[in-house]
Structure 1
Amino acid sequence: MTYCVGIKLDAGLVFLSDSRTNAGLDQISTFRKMMVYEKAGDRFMVMLSAGNLSISQSVREILQVEKIDNPGGEPLTIWNAPSMFDAVRVLGSAVRRVYDQDGASLKQSGIDFNTSMIFGGQIKGEAMRLFLVYSAGNFIEATRETCFFQIGESKYGKPVLDRMVTPASGLDEAAKCALVSMDSTLKSNLSVGLPLDLLVYERDRFASDKIACIDEHNPYFHMIRSSWGQRLRPVFESIDAPRWDGGDTAHPLSTADCRYEPMRKITHPGEKLV
């Protein structure tokens, strides 16, 4: 499996991906899930992928040369698309092309056509955009209300992103939050693993040199892994424990509710609660 996250901020974009794939407990390998497409001064795009590795690799290969019709002009590719919307349409076309090629054979083998991508960046002349692309090649776009996307094992790392990230967050703050999100996922799921790829893109630069490969020896990530849990403990312990007896507390647990009755117990075989 995998875990990838893409975050769109006012200041730029943050992308983070793991590199573990597995086809069973004894079939664990390392494959990068991040691809960077850069035409300095004109466009900068990043794709993160999750799902079936063979599908993702085929999509990556086809994406670089995929063309879609453009009435009245030359065919659109990711290299000449005038907008990120057009570029993600090219990606959707590449996904559908792989499905047309391999979908029937995969189905005959009992394998679902399972892939998803986060695709984001900026093309000169428009603002940054971030998309989530599904197995059918369709997609949705990040908004100010939902400024990040996750693919793969997303549930473990989502709470910290929900609580901390907003469009106004700084790039370094969002990168730190993404790494904490990844650490939470690594802690709870063995199918996600190091090394990680982290990329930070600053708005209107159309290039990025803020790219890091993070392994188990990386001092910054080691600090996050060791300090996050330790610093959560004092916060947890500072919260009052529940009081069942209605004693001296500003936050009683058992209170009367005008709508819901307390839970009733079944005390003999013939008793019904409904």
Structure 2
Amino acid sequence: MTYCVGMLVDRGLVLMSDTRTNSGVDNISVFRKMFTWQVPGERIITLLTAGNLASTQSVVSLLEERTKAPEERDNTLLTSPTMFQVASEIGSLLREIIATRQEANGIRGRDRFTASIIVAGQIRGMEPRLFLIYPEGNFIEAGRDTPFFQIGETKYGRPIIIRGYDPTMSLEDAAKLLMVSFDSTLKANLSVGLPLDLMVIERDTFEAGHERRIAHDDSYFQAISSSWGDALKEAFHSLPDYSFYQGD
């Protein structure tokens, strides 16, 4: 399983992903799920991936291959004039890869090769943008009403983000909010695991202003986890007492 989040705030984009993949309790591995391409001063594009690992790695490998010889290949990431066109091309690529694998495997492949992708980034002269691409290749864009996207194991960390999100929050607070969301997910689901990858893209910088891998021994993440647990217990005990007897 996977947990990835892309969040859009006024000051830019904050992205986070776990690195755990598993095919049963005795086959757990670590694979990176966050991938970035950039042209300094002109654009930065980051992908977060969830679902069938072979499908998502095929998408990333093909995109990476196209950047190696832009004069010879359709260099979607580095030459598309808008983030919308970037998302559209990645969606088409994902759909083709999944369809090819499903066709090769017949009925057995219908649900095995699905995947989804979060695409985030900014191109000079345009706003930072955030998209969620579905296995069918279609996609939606984040905005004021839906300012963040999750893929993978979403249910445990979603309430945290909904209650804590504010479009005017600092990038530092946005990163902290995602850490709390991930900590809640890690506590509830063993299929999501450390290390975690964090990236912050500040508006109009066209680069990863902050990039960090959060390992098991990360002191700040441990403090967040411990403090959040204590704060929840304190908040619970501060609630009005419930009585089994009417009128008490």
State whether TM-score is above 0.5: yes
1:21 is matched by which residue type in structure 2?
T
2:144 is matched by which residue type in structure 1?
R
1:215 aligns with 2:215: yes
1:3 is matched by which residue type in structure 2?
Y
CA distance in 2, matches of 1:53, 1:100: 15
- Counterpart mapping for 1:164-243 below 5 A: 164-243=164-243
Higher fraction of helix? 2
Point out which structure has higher relative CO (alpha carbons under 8 A, 6+ apart): 2
TM-score normalised by length of structure 2 = 0.93
Residue aligned with 1:244, SS: coil
Identity, % of aligned positions: 47
CA distance in 2, matches of 1:10, 1:83: 19
Deviations 1:4-45 (A, max 9, x none): 000001101000000000001101000011001111111011
- Give the direction of change, closer, same or farther, for the CA distance of 1:32–1:75 in structure 2 (3 Å limit): closer
Name stretches of at least 5 consecutive residues in structure 2 with no aligned partner: 68-72
Query: Does the CA-based 8 Å contact 1:3-1:151 persist in structure 2?
Result: yes
CA distance in 2, matches of 1:143, 1:107: 38
1:77 aligns with 2:67: no
Name stretches of at least 5 consecutive residues in structure 1 with no aligned partner: 68-73, 249-274
Range 19-28 or range 111-120, more displaced: 111-120
Residue aligned with 1:37, SS: strand
Q: Specify the alignment match of 2:96 in structure 1.
A: 97
Residue aligned with 1:242, SS: coil
- Counterpart mapping for 1:1-274 below 5 A: 1-65=1-65, 77-110=76-109, 112=111, 113-248=113-248
TM-score normalised by length of structure 1 = 0.84
Deviations 1:41-100 (A, max 9, x none): 110111000001001100111223569xxxxxx966111111100111111121123124
CA distance in 1, matches of 2:97, 2:66: 11
1:33 is matched by which residue type in structure 2?
K
- Between structure 1 and structure 2, the one with the greater Rg is 1
The alignment's C-alpha RMSD in Å is 1.7
Residue 221 of structure 1: how far off its partner (Å): 0.4
CA distance in 2, matches of 1:107, 1:163: 43
CA distance in 1, matches of 2:99, 2:152: 23
Displacement over 6 Å in runs of 4+: none
1:18 is matched by which residue type in structure 2?
D
CA distance in 2, matches of 1:9, 1:209: 15
CA distance in 1, matches of 2:119, 2:168: 21
